[in-house]
Structure 1
Amino acid sequence: MSVQVTIDVPETSFSILRTTPTAFAQELRLAAAVKWYEIGRISQSKAAELAGISRAQFLTALGQFNVSPYQVTPEELAAEVRDA
């Protein structure tokens, strides 16, 4: 089941970004999913679901947005290495 959400976007946005409304909506979903994953709000699988793509495609998209697929802070990683 899905719910449709409507947002108002200036018409000029599509020409500025050189995209169609449909492609813009898909890119917006992906950008939101990536950001919410990056800040730890959702998991990879939920982010991929939100973006409407597979988890493998989501992992590829993370690279395009320069976001690490790992949700570990440098401090957490150092603690894991130290405790190993």
Structure 2
Amino acid sequence: MYDVVEIQLPGDIPQMLNRTPEELARDMRLYAALMLFRIGKLSSGAAAHMAGVPRMMFLDLCADYDIPVSAITGEDLHRELADE
């Protein structure tokens, strides 16, 4: 089940982006999901579900948009590997 959210945009935006209303709605779901994942509000699974794509595809899209999929830093990784 999906909730409907209405967003009002200036009438020339879909034309400026060369997108149909359906394409624009899909894009906005994806961009919102990417941002909510990036700021930690959604897990990758929940964000993928929101975007309407499989989780692995969502993670690939994160890479396309330079969104880190892990909060571990290089320093943390070096520390973890040194502890082994």
Q: Work out the percentage of aligned pairs sharing the same amino acid.
A: 28
Aligned residue identity for 2:43: S
Q: Deviations over 1:40-76 (max 9, x none)?
A: 1111000001111110110121122111222x153xx
Alignment map for 1:1-84 (pairs within 5 Å): 1-70=1-70, 72-74=71-73, 77-79=74-76, 81-82=78-79, 84=83
Gap runs ≥5 in structure 2: none
* Cα distance in 2, alignment partners of residues 48 and 38 from structure 1: 12
Partner deviation per Cα, 1:6-46 (whole Å, 9 max, x = no partner): 11111100111111111111110111111111111111000
Give the residue type in structure 2 aligned to 1:50.
M
- Alpha-carbon RMSD: 1.6
Instruction: Give how far 1:78 is off.
Output: 2.0
Deviation of residue 2 (structure 1)?
1.1
| SS of residue paired to 1:19 | coil
Equivalent pairs, count: 81
**Amino acid in the other structure paired with 2:79:** R
Q: 1:44 to 1:81 in 2, by over 3 A?
A: same
Gapped runs of 5+ residues in structure 1?
none
Letter in 2 for 1:82: R
